[in-house]
Structure 1
Amino acid sequence: MLFAQLLDRTGTGMWAASSVLFFVFVIGLDAGRLGLLLGAAAVAGIAGSPLAGHLAGRFPVRSLLIACHLLRLATLGSLLFVTRFDVLLPVVAVTYLGDRAAKTLEMLFATRVAGERRATYQALSRSSANAGYALGAGLAAIGLAVGTHEAYQALILANALSFLAAAALVRRTREPRGRGLVTARTADPAAAAAAGATAPATSAVPALPPGRPGPWRDRGYLRFALLDIAMNLDDSILAVGLPLWLVDHTDAPHTLVPAFLVINTVLVVVLQLRVSAKVEEPRQAAAAVVLYGLTMLACCTLLAGTAGAGAWAASIVLLTAAVLATAAELMRSVSSWELAVSLAPEEARASYLGVAGMAQSIQKSAGPLLLTGVVMTAGPAGWLTLGAAVAVLSTVQRRTAVRRLDAMAAPSPCGAASPSGSLAVSIRDLPGSGR
């Protein structure tokens, strides 16, 4: 499964590094149509996570993940022939939708298979993903250096074939027999025992017990998912904020921009497992959220201080800010996933995680607009305000998570689980063997 993710992310890295230039120089899109294309794709990507969660409650996760890989194989392959904008728009939108759905399904699959090694699996997943992105970007650089129409087509074909290889590897990954992502218990255990059952019966198709709210009516979980949008802003700061701030507001050399990606990739690959080892249960994940906020505050404060600094001073501060943003990402990558799983009722985990996955998609759409349209327009004060806001929201997120964990762990008057639908789910609560 991890090797399948490596191949997937290698192809995605090639596409991410070359797609804009492909649309401009090969397809011939102007800036307006390119913005419309990418905006529509981002909106479609937001729908990918809840759609994947909804379908995962009804169909095998592995089959859905294979379908997502094959869907992207078809849409990316079609870019070799599509030139009309009205056809290109839905093709790229479906590609982004499949991409976000695949990432959510990978998380669901890991929740099912990894069991008590969930945090370790997430760390390995993050490391392999970053290695894949770096490898893909390197391969894209070769194609972009050639710069011919055929070179761009070769990059697209290689990306499409990576999805085919990933689908083949996922197909070979075995799912544990009898271990569903969600389990629907019979409402009357005594009746099951009378029928000769020795344990709570399970249905073939996971279902939410009658009377239990789904994620869209669960205000506590929606509050967590909404706050989690702000807990993903490190991504936009690394990809958009740092490069644009360097170019427009500092005297640092433009050649420093690639160093941000190198720092991020190397630190994630080297440190992700160590950071994940510190977060072994939900309350530790909740505490890590506060550390995320404080780290982001420090990062934004440094960026505010680069205005007016000399080239050398600005370079050092920007590189330090990249390190802090990566440290925030390391904490977010383990705390966000762990809390998304732990705060979801076990009986409906697939649909809940689909909703939680929207936070990252929304941030990818709104984060760059927030940075370019508000934060950087306001200058240093904008960075200070952003950092303070994330720090405050991280504290609110921690309180929200701890309060929900307490409610989930509290027994009901009849001695059963709390009304939230399950006991608190720690990393060791899921049976397992081992994105």
Structure 2
Amino acid sequence: MSREAAKGRRSRRPEWATVEWWRRPAGPVYLASLVLSLGKGAWFTCWALFFLHSVGLSTAEFAFGITAAGVVGMIVGGPLGYLADRVGARETLVVLGTVQGLAILSYTWAHEFWAAVAVTCVMIAADRATPGIRIALLSGLTTGEERIKSISTNRAMTQGGIVVGALAGAYVLSLDNAAGYLGLIVMYGGTTVGCSVLLLRVPRVASLSDRKVRRRVMVLRDRPFLLITLFNGFLALSWGMLDSGVPLWITHHTHAPLWVMGVLMGANAVVIVLFQNRVSRAAEAVPGAARLGLWSGVLLAASCGIFAATYRGSGAWVFVLLALGAAVHVVGELFFVSSGFGLSVNLTPNDAHGEYQGMFATGQATALTFAPGIMTVLLVDWGVAGWFALAAVYLVGGIGTLGAARWAMRKPQEPAAETPIVPASAGEGQRGTV
């Protein structure tokens, strides 16, 4: 083989298969996300049975605990995002990861109800705040088209890790004993702390403190962005729809075996890993991201209609409809996630990625918190009518995303209200107010 041919074969290798790709500034972020998602996939596959069988909580106590933790996660996203802008996204991620890891390790002794609730609130709060701040860090490390590509790559890494981790979690579930749960806790908590240390290899992104600048919170005055956050939260119910809604529907309103849900979720994850990067290319500019948001709502609504058609279904036909509904759903999910990346990043001032991503993540955290209850009421209690109500929510989310994005494009960008911090030696009386 000639030298040129050998060089051509090497060039066809995927980027992630090269050492140079992992050595880039964002490389440690990808690696940390991959490792953390392995533990996350394993943990959230079996944490319910851990609390019910190992800790000894009742189902009502477990439901109260995860709901309280979800509410805390909703509240802290914005403030922690602003803190990331103030002190640095990398530093905030390191601290959050360490706190989350220690909280996970605390499950080894927190076996009383209120202790378990407190630990879960800390763990979930850090878990919900971390993705937005990680996007802020990647946004600071990259520019232009590379920015959306790096964020979507991180999403694909995370999804792939969750799938593999879920398989490990299934093994722990098969054991269903204290030793298995203890090993998982130690593994997940230890790797979470270790990945936080790994992030110290990431180049530091200049913070407001580094630049000697103080400014007020900006995102709360950005009404188009707040509307986009709201409508993106409507679309984010698609995550809860697949995780809890479809399994509940299959159990209560079809004659299909529940194991088919594992096949649908596995296929969903594979499609996301393979195509998230490609779809995100259409969201590199605000108009394209806005259109993806609209089509996401349309496709998710269409998937609701297909799932509704499985009512009391059985045999091969119900399998076909479930597979078709899941296929339309995953395309809608790809569009929704890519739209969120493009809009939240491109509509954010360069020095405010932390607070904007923190606020944007609040909409998704709200959806994740209330999705199980919403899906139970709509799909178990309302039946077929619930699917059409959910479809209407998705259509509102898609149309609203397009309208709010167009408003944001027409609205002139408001400059940040920045005030230089005067060194103390120059006189405390001259320091600007926040």
Calculate the TM-score normalised by the size of structure 1: 0.85
Deviation (angstroms), 1:203: 6.5
Aligned mates of 1:341, 1:254 — CA distance in 2: 39
Per the alignment, residue 192 of structure 1 pairs with none
Name the counterpart of 2:21: none
Within 5 Å, give how 1:222-241 maps onto structure 2: 222-241=226-245
User: CA 1:348 to 1:119, structure 2 compared with 1: closer, same or farther past 3 Å?
Assistant: closer
Return the letter of the residue paired with 2:136: L
Q: Deviations over 1:390-421 (max 9, x none)?
A: 1133112201111211223xxxxxxxxx4466
Answering whether residue 284 of structure 2 is matched by residue 256 of structure 1, we say no
Aligned to 1:265: 269
Residue correspondence of structure 1 range 89-128 to structure 2 within 5 A: 89-116=117-144, 117-128=146-157
1:135 corresponds, among 152, 164, 172, to: 164
Contact 1:375 1:382 in 2 (8 A): yes
Tell whether 2:228 aligns with 1:221: no
Listed as ranges, the matches of 1:6-21 within 5 Å are: 6-21=34-49
Query: For residues 206 and 153 of structure 1, do their structure 2 counterparts lie closer, same or farther at Cα, with a shift above 3 Å needed?
Result: farther
Q: Report matched runs for 1:156-171 at 5 Å.
A: 156-171=185-200
Determine the structure 1 residue equivalent to 2:184. Answer: 155
CA contact (8 A) 1:302 1:318 kept: yes
Q: Do the aligned partners of 1:242 and 1:318 also contact (CA within 8 Å) in 2?
A: no
Q: Any conservation in 2 of the 1:346–1:421 contact (CA below 8 Å)? A: no
**Please, which runs of 5 or more residues in structure 1 have no aligned partner?**
183-201, 409-417, 423-435
Does 1:320 find its partner at 2:324? yes
Distance 2:284 2:114 in 1: 48
* Secondary structure at the counterpart of residue 100 of structure 1: helix
Task: Choose between structure 1 and 2: higher helix proportion.
Answer: 2
Does the 8 Å contact 1:51/1:101 carry over to 2?
no
> Distance between the aligned counterparts of 2:255 and 2:345, measured in 1?
44
Partner of 2:211: 204
Deviates more, 1:225-234 or 1:283-292: 225-234
Of 382, 392, 395, which residue of structure 2 is paired with 1:388?
A: 392
Which residue among 307, 310, 332 is the counterpart of 1:303? 307
User: How far apart, in 1, do the equivalents of 2:164 and 2:115 lie?
Assistant: 30
How many Å separate the matches in 2 of 1:148 and 1:388?
A: 44
Query: What SS is found at the alignment partner of 2:259?
Result: helix
Question: Counterpart of 2:83?
Answer: 55
Aligned to 1:411: none
State yes or no: 1:26 paired with 2:15: no
Residue 32 of structure 1: how far off its partner (Å): 1.3
Between 106-115 and 42-51, report the one with greater CA deviation: 42-51
Aligned in 2, Cα 1:313/1:206: closer, same or farther, shift over 3 Å?
A: farther
Structure 2: state its 5+ residue gaps: 1-28, 418-434
Contact conserved, 1:300 with 1:384, CA < 8 A, in 2? yes
**What do the CA deviations read for 1:208-265 (whole angstroms, capped 9, x no partner)?**
37xxx72223332222211221021110111011111111101111221111220111
8 Å contact from structure 1 (residues 208, 347) kept in 2: no
- The answer to whether structure 1 residue 279 and structure 2 residue 288 are counterparts is no
Letter in structure 2 aligned against 1:258: G
> 1:398 is matched with which residue: 396, 402, 410?
402
Question: Do 2:254 and 2:310's aligned partners in 1 also have CA atoms closer than 8 Å?
Answer: yes
CA shift, 1:102, in A, is: 1.4
Residue 198 of structure 1: aligned partner = none
Q: Which amino acid aligns with 1:317?
A: L
Matched residue SS, 2:102: helix
Over the matched positions of the two proteins, sequence identity in percent amounts to 24
Deviates more, 1:139-148 or 1:328-337: 139-148
The alpha-carbon deviation at position 372 of structure 1 amounts to 1.0
Partner of 1:86: 114
CA distance in 1, matches of 2:197, 2:411: 42
Q: Residues 177-192 of structure 1: matches in 2 within 5 Å?
A: 180=206
Cα distance between partner residues in 2 of 1:181 and 1:318: 48
Return the alpha-carbon distance in structure 1 between the equivalents of residues 261 and 415 of structure 2: 47
Give the Cα–Cα distance (whole angstroms) in 2 for the partners of residues 230 and 243 of structure 1.
20
Contact 1:207/1:348 (CA < 8 Å) preserved in 2?
no
**Letter of the structure 2 residue corresponding to residue 204 of structure 1:** R
Which of 363-372 and 141-150 deviates more? Answer: 141-150
Contact kept in structure 2, 1:122 and 1:334, CA below 8 Å: no
- TM-score normalised to the size of structure 2? 0.85
Contact 2:252–2:380, Cα closer than 8 Å, also in 1: no
Runs of 4+ in 1 over 6 A off after TM superposition: none
Which stretch shifts more, 220-229 or 1-10? 220-229
Hey, what's the Cα distance between the residues in 2 that align with 1:243 and 1:312?
18
Following superposition, the deviation at residue 164 of structure 1 comes to 2.1
Measured against aligned partners, the alpha-carbon deviations of 1:144-186 in whole angstroms (never above 9, x if no partner) come to: 22222111100111111120221122111223xxx6467xxxx
Is residue 65 from structure 1 mapped to residue 65 from structure 2 by the alignment? no
Deviations 1:243-293 (A, max 9, x none): 111111011112211112201111011111211222221110001011101
Matches of 2:313 and 2:415, distance apart in 1? 52
2:249 to 237, 245, 249: 245
The 5 Å alignment of 1:324-335 reads: 324-335=328-339
CA RMSD, aligned part only? 1.9
* Partner residue, 2:6: none
Taking the aligned partners of 2:212 and 2:104, their CA distance within structure 1 comes to: 33
What is the rounded CA distance, in whole Å, between the counterparts of 2:307 and 2:248 in structure 1? 11
**Alpha-carbon distance in structure 2 between the residues aligned to 1:285 and 1:421:** 24
* Amino acid across the alignment from 1:276: S
Instruction: Tell me, in whole angstroms, the C-alpha distance in 1 between the residues paired with 2:213 and 2:255.
Output: 57
Q: Does 1:336 align with 2:340?
A: yes
Residue correspondences, number? 388
- Which residue in the other structure is 2:363 paired with? 359
